[in-house]
Amino acid sequence: MCKFKPFNKHVLVQKIAEVENRDLSPVLIPEDAQVGELERYGLVKFICAASDCDSFLRALNPETPTWATQRGTMDDVFTTSAITNGSITLVVENTMVDEVKVKDKKFEIVHQNYIIGILDE
């Protein structure tokens, strides 16, 4: 169950840290400086989806029983696999992941329209 419940077709996610590719340049750059180009797409861990999201995303919610996700479509393969693996990885547009800070807590959300797909590992 989420401690932050998204609304309005948003999905609560957690960014997956990318492996840093440190440049061994002789120029010193502060560690907190953002360097280089950000990849257009990235990976996030699915936490939960708003109740008004598309049915596929709602079916990924942790509180949804697995029997409720079976519709006889290809989506079932990914949904069942993701729920079984216990960790759902989504592909999103990096610039569309918003950080929300409330009462010293940080949450990352993305609108369902910027979710490009699901990664089945």
For 43-92, what is each residue's pLDDT tens digit?
999 999 999 998 888 888 888 877 777 777 766 776 777 667 778 899 99
- Rounded Cα distance between 109 and 49, Å, is 9
Mean pLDDT of the chain: 82
What's the pTM?
A: 0.75
Q: Cα–Cα distance between 121 and 105 in angstroms, integer?
A: 30
Domain boundaries, the chain: 10-16+38-119
